[in-house]
Amino acid sequence: MAIKVDQTKCIGCGMCVGLCPDTFKLNSVGRSEVISQDNKDCASQAAQNCPVLAISVE
């Protein structure tokens, strides 16, 4: 099981960071990066709400 963000899809809307601040952060180019693999439940919720489906939890 790993949380991943597809950097080619992320549009930097910030939704996942707002929902799971301990899991995602926006990087220097304004895209979401995974900073912790600890909260897969929150990441799954973020994945379902990401407007461009850039988050995968697998």
Residues that bind ligand SF4 (CB under 6 A): 5, 10-16, 32, 50-52, 54-55
What's the closest the beta carbon of residue 41 comes to ligand SF4, in angstroms? 16
Q: Which helix (H) or strand (E) holds 26?
A: strand 24-26
| Comparison of 21 and 51: residue with beta carbon closer to ligand SF4 | 51
Give the integer Cα–Cα distance in Å for 35 and 29. 15
| Comparison of 5 and 42: residue with beta carbon closer to ligand SF4 | 5
What's the closest the beta carbon of residue 37 comes to ligand SF4, in angstroms? 15
Phi-psi region of 53 (alpha: psi -120 to 50; beta: other; left: phi over 0): left
